[in-house]
């Protein structure tokens, strides 16, 4: 990972941490199990009230993972990291995100990485309310969010490794869309 070579992240982004991150990240949206299907599968824009409900998925996911942690015989690092990602992957660099309005590196690096990956995936994937976006258009949207939505360091690595992101997206593309 290119971010690992940045001196600001060398200590945090060890090989073990990155391996743990890849195990934990898939749980980032686990809180959506608590969101009504009528909202999740709505083909049009959400109302402000529906959007308020949708935003609760970050806290719901964090709470669910915390509940699972309590039942574990011993602490599991991947659950602890998954809880962090679930709660804060919708925070924005400028503090306008949710659920806590964290600014800059107030959100953990795991969540800042997931924020970009989640948006890229959402943009390039079909949804009930939209068609998939071309990779280049998604790249441009992410670049435009550098320093506002996204951590500038994370965007810089994304841009330098954009072809790798596209290869990964192609490799794991969902061929069974229910949109």
> What Cα–Cα distance (Å) separates residue 158 from each residue in 116, 119, 129, 176?
8, 12, 26, 27
- At a CB cut-off of 8 Å and minimum separation 6, what does 24 contact? 78, 79, 81, 82, 85, 110
Average pLDDT of span 76-84:
95
pTM of the model: 0.92
pLDDT, tens only, 110-160: 999 999 999 999 999 998 889 999 999 999 999 999 999 999 999 999 999
Q: Is the dihedral of CA 169, 143, 43, 63 positive or negative?
A: positive
**Tokens 């976006």, located at residue:** 133
Cα dihedral value 106, 25, 166, 18, nearest 10: 80
What percent of the chain is predicted at pLDDT more than 90?
84
pLDDT, tens only, 99-121: 999 999 999 999 999 999 999 99
Q: Around 96, how many Cα atoms within 13 Å sit in the side-chain half-sphere?
A: 7
Arch. (CATH architecture) of 2-171: Orthogonal Bundle (1.10)
Q: How far apart are CA 4 and CA 1, in angstroms?
A: 6
What is the average pLDDT score of the chain?
94
The domain ranges of the chain are: 2-171
């Amino acid at each position: 990972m290119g971010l690992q070579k940045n001196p600001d992240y060398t200590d945090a982004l060890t090989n073990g941490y990155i391996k743990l991150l890849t195990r934990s990240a898939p749980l980032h949206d686990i809180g959506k199990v608590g969101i009504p299907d009528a909202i999740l599968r709505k083909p049009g824009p959400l109302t402000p009230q529906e959007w308020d409900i949708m935003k609760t998925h970050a806290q719901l996911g964090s709470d669910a993972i915390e509940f699972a942690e309590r039942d574990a015989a011993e602490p599991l690092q991947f659950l602890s990291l998954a809880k962090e990602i679930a709660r804060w992957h919708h925070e924005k660099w400028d503090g306008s995100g949710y659920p806590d309005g964290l600014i800059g590196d107030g959100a953990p690096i795991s969540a800042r990485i997931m924020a970009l990956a989640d948006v890229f995936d959402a943009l390039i994937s079909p949804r009930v309310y939209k068609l998939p976006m071309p990779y280049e258009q998604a790249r441009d949207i992410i670049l435009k969010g550098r320093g506002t939505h996204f951590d500038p360091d994370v965007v810089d690595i994304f841009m330098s490794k954009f072809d790798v992101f596209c290869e990964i997206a192609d490799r794991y593309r969902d061929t069974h869309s229910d949109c």
